[in-house]
Amino acid sequence: MRKRKSRGLEVTENLIRIALSVVKSKSAAQQFEHQIAAHIATGSDLGDLGHSRNHFNEILSTINVWLDKQTAKQIAKPLPSTGFQPHFYVSCDKSTPHRISNHAIMICPVVSGKRVAIPVNSPEVYPKDSLNKDGVSGGCADQLAKQVVKTIKESYGEEESFDLKATWQGTCCDGQYQADGFKTTIYQELGVLIDPVFSVVVWDQSHWINLAILDIKDGKIGSSSGFLTSLVKRSKNIHSTFQRGKMLSSVIALANSEKLELKMTRGN
């Protein structure tokens, strides 16, 4: 009996490892079956069950439950230096990678001195009960705000010592979340004062900088339009020259010899 239990645990661990490798490779669930077959061919013990791609999502859901519990314990644990639970800011965005729009929600604490984005969940933006009705619900500013708060509470709320109001110290999103309804609803759901000093809703840096640079490039602000236009053209020429072939090999060798980081827009 003990031997059978030990084998069952080993098989389960192997299946989870394969599922995680499929996620890391950003592959479809179909690749789960292919990797199962490859591991069996090399002698791995994977048992006789759970080999179908239909089990892939179930395995990921199980992993998510464990990850949420571990994350909740970590963010509810007071820091030795301050005695307070670690602060984080929240970032979110809507996306429609296929026929369903999802709401990607992340918390961003500081871990070992570095800012780290931790995915919370990606619930559907438009609920199924809004089908076959006049108008669509779910995508308004106040509804998005309520969904963000609800999702975080559902994921980490089981940890009794977790204080969302104390740990949530800001929200960083792009333009569609800058509506007053989103900000006001966030404050109401958290039970904090309107426009508090330590809990703000701001633009994320990448979108804000992009808008600012576009205004400068288009000549709406300042007098650096010509400079930016020339800089963009030169950068495109450099990329076209070094993006493939012998010139690419030369720039890779130069970067390695000088111990420099080579950043490329496409490929490796």
Task: Give the pLDDT of residue 267.
Answer: 45
The three-class DSSP label of residue 223 is coil
Please report, as a single letter, which amino acid is at residue 239. H
In a domain, 112, yes or no: yes
Contacts for 125 with CB less than 8 Å, ≥ 6 apart: 94, 101, 102, 103, 138, 139, 144, 147
- Phi, psi for 177 (deg, rounded to 5): -95, 5
In Å, what is the CA distance from 206 to each residue of 14, 97, 102, 172, 211?
A: 39, 21, 21, 11, 9
User: In DSSP terms, which residues pair with 92 in a beta bridge?
Assistant: 105
Q: pLDDT tens digits for 72-117?
A: 999 999 988 889 999 999 999 988 877 888 999 999 998 888 889 9
In a domain, 57, yes or no: yes
Q: Over the Cα atoms of the chain, what is R_g?
A: 24
Q: CB pairs under 8 A, 24+ apart, for 233-240?
A: 239/265
In a domain, 209, yes or no: no
Signed CA dihedral, 65, 67, 69, 72: sign only:
negative
In Å, what is the CA distance from 112 to each residue of 75, 86, 92, 109, 115?
A: 13, 12, 23, 10, 8
What is the span of the domain harbouring residue 197?
81-203
CATH of residue 156's domain is: 3.30.420.40
Same domain, 144 and 233: no
Contacts for 210 with CB less than 8 Å, ≥ 6 apart: none
Domain's final residue, options 40, 55, 73: 73
Same domain, 118 and 170: yes
Same domain, 170 and 241: no
Q: How far is Cα 47 from Cα 14, in angstroms, rounded to an integer?
A: 10
Same domain, 68 and 86: no
Same domain, 162 and 197: yes
Q: pLDDT tens digits for 154-180?
A: 999 888 888 888 899 888 888 778 878
Q: How far is Cα 68 from Cα 222, in angstroms, rounded to an integer?
A: 48
Same domain, 58 and 29: yes
Same domain, 120 and 195: yes
- Domain tally, the chain: 3
Same domain, 237 and 197: no
Task: Give the pLDDT of residue 106.
Answer: 94
Give the pTM.
0.68
Task: Give the pLDDT of residue 5.
Answer: 63
Among 201-205, 223-227, 244-248, the range with the most confident prediction by mean pLDDT is 223-227
Query: Could you tell me the pLDDT band of residue 71, with boundaries at 50, 70 and 90?
Result: very high
Same domain, 147 and 243: no
In Å, what is the CA distance from 247 to each residue of 80, 234, 242, 256?
A: 52, 17, 5, 14
Distance of CA 64 to the CA centre of its chain: 14
Task: Give the pLDDT of residue 268.
Answer: 43
Same domain, 137 and 199: yes
Q: Would you say residue 131 has pLDDT above 60?
A: no
The three-class DSSP label of residue 99 is coil
In a domain, 265, yes or no: no
In a domain, 263, yes or no: no
